[in-house]
């Protein structure tokens, strides 16, 4: 089982998250809510992909976010870490792995 690259960004009450490996996005009220929602979205996505014919399944399980999206989220995490050390404004970004059931 491989780990997928996921990011979350937010502050108290307003969070968003993305799984770059499957280009899935979620929103939530906390980091934990976003993390759990992404884990569930990945499980449902993989389960749905398994129900498809071979060619479609391969395409779905190899779908990635566009490069510009990946770069933007990476920059957001770096910028947030730099700001947090300077200002402590509550704006937080984090990357985390999600296990892929495929």
pLDDT of residue 94: 75
pLDDT tens for the chain, 102 residues long, are: 678 888 898 888 899 999 999 999 999 999 999 999 999 999 999 999 999 999 999 999 999 999 999 898 888 878 777 766 555 556 677 777 788 876
pLDDT of residue 98: 83
Domain ranges of the chain: 3-99
Q: Residue 51 and residue 57: Cα distance in Å, rounded?
A: 8
CB 11 within 8 A of CB 90: yes
Q: Residue 20 and residue 70: Cα distance in Å, rounded?
A: 6
Rounding to the nearest 10 degrees, give the CA dihedral for residues 84, 72, 17, 99: -100
pTM of the predicted structure, to 2 decimals: 0.80
Residue 30 three-state SS: coil
Between the alpha carbon of residue 85 and those of residues 31, 76, 88, 90, 99, the distances in Å are 19, 14, 6, 11, 30
> CATH assignment of 3-99?
3.30.160
């Amino acid at each position: 089982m491989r780990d997928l690259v996921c990011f979350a960004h937010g502050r108290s009450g307003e969070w968003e998250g993305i799984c770059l490996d499957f280009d899935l996005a979620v929103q939530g009220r906390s980091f934990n809510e976003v993390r759990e929602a992404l884990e569930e979205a990945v499980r449902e996505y993989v389960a749905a992909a398994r129900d498809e014919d071979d060619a479609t399944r391969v395409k779905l399980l190899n779908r990635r976010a566009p490069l510009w999206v990946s770069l933007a989220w990476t920059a957001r995490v770096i910028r947030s870490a730099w700001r947090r050390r300077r200002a402590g404004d509550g704006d937080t970004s984090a990357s985390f792995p999600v296990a892929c059931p495929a």
